[in-house]
Structure 1
Amino acid sequence: MRILTYRLKDSKEAYQVGFLKDTLIYPVDTLKTYIADEAVKQLVTSDPALFYLQLQSLPALKAALEKASQSIGIKQESIEFGPVVTRPSKIICVGVNYLDHVKEMGHDVPKLPVLFSKFSNALIGHEANIMGMAKSDQLDYEVELACVIGKTCTEVDESEALDYLLGYTIANDISARDLQKRTPQWLQGKTLDKSTPVGPVIVTTDELKDPSKLAIRSYVNGDVRQTSSTDQLIFNIPTLIAFISDLITLEPGDLILTGTPHGVGFAEKPPRLLQSGDEVVCEIEGIGTLKNKVD
């Protein structure tokens, strides 16, 4: 299944949850009419803040999606994409986690995952504009595979870690390198308002079963900047979930950004950083394409 948040274009309404099937978006509230079990139907909500807390309704929604008439579907050109999770309780990011990126940055291979955080103010959706250059003139792109937690997990074993995932999405960890580097802590360069696109959809684990060898790429104005595979991850997804959940209880809707491969603009000689008007496209095999422009 492919889950997203959206609202109709030119609408000021809150984002709601929908499902992408073929080229159409099916609203959760409309799919409810295809669910016969009243108890399950009562669990279903289109509010993104609550939807990820009630994922026991997902099998019924999957069955409803199979039955649904195309007449209730909405064309993509009619909607504005939101961030696939609008207000996660936690956004945990992993730094220097691709072997090829560690080499280009001149770092030692980390012995433990390098963690930092973001906040929900940073999140934007597919085709939304990345915040402008007012705060930083050293904006960099970073395509990343992101994991969405599906149920509460704490002290999870690696062998069971993937059972706690809802699915996977794409993130662009836009980094303000000047702000990131001016102190030993990276936070101020990593969570500026409207700086982190996530989307366009969450692909659930029943559809994307193996995240270990996915092609991952980024482009700026059509020029290939990053091209790699998730087999370059130093700490794979089960390891990350086990490590993080040993420290922090993860909850439904939480995001884990797993790191970026080589090819970031800051590492180029001379650096090739983003400018106002640039279009950044991030692609991950099995998920799709995340596209955004810099204001």
Structure 2
Amino acid sequence: MPYVGRFAPTPSGPLHFGSLVTALASWLDARYYGGTWLLRVDDLDPPRQQAGAAERILRQLEAFGLEWDGQPVYQSQRSAAYQAAVERLLAHGNAFYCSLSRKQLAALDDLHPGPAVAEPPGPDLAIRLAVPDRERCLQDRLQGRVCANLGREGGAFVIRRRDGLYAYQLACALDDADQGITDVVRGSDLLASTLRQLWVLQCLGAPAPNYSHLPVVMDPAGGKMSKSAGAAALDIKRPGITLFAALACVGLEPAPAMSGAGVSEQLAWARHHWRPQLLPRGRRQPLPALLQGSDR
């Protein structure tokens, strides 16, 4: 099948350096295989969104030369598709209504008991997807074989929240299927989500993409670089040095003189020299020394 990749940022804030590394790796992979690279904005949770963040993310990608194919897709415009999937899962007996609160789940050691606590349809109820009590595995291009028993790691998970909002695991899996995504390149912090999304796809009878989970970039303090931890936004006025540092995080070793080159020149060099086997393995990688102590 023709390669179809994607980048799916959440507009809870602007992109930071870790986001750039993920986008760059995904973009290079798609271009290497002569495929398409789609942009999807995961604006599924209004309470977590930052005003203007979605537009700012698009401008950041453009500033770093990471052009996407086609028009961006916004999850906020796909509620009908998510509802149809939920109804299908309910009709097939895969999903059920649930009234358990977070406090009640905490008393159960955050392990949901499954359909045994199912409720009749009604308001103020979440909808959860039942999971099997057996080990499930995926073969990741970078992390190797990854296995987990979803029934013992949280149990049945939410696909539609009590407030009516659709959950990430359902929306992401369905979006990938509907967009024909063949390859997903993203951070290793999403490995646990991947096994749940694979289960969603199996319940829906949809094909699963191939996965490559990159080691996440750590901040100087040793924590995961993230918006919630206050990672600095990408500076679109000075993209060259930041892109140069990101190239090292996807397995390339540009000459020091390349740090002064423009974005177009750096990306052209990267496309010529990059190979899939260069992608780093492992779960974490340090912030390049070039950026430590900087505001990028």
Structure with the higher helix share, 1 or 2: 2
Structure with the higher strand share, 1 or 2: 1
TMscore range, shorter length:
under 0.3
> Could you state the TM-score of these two structures normalised by the residue count of structure 1?
0.25
> Could you state the TM-score of these two structures normalised by the residue count of structure 2?
0.25
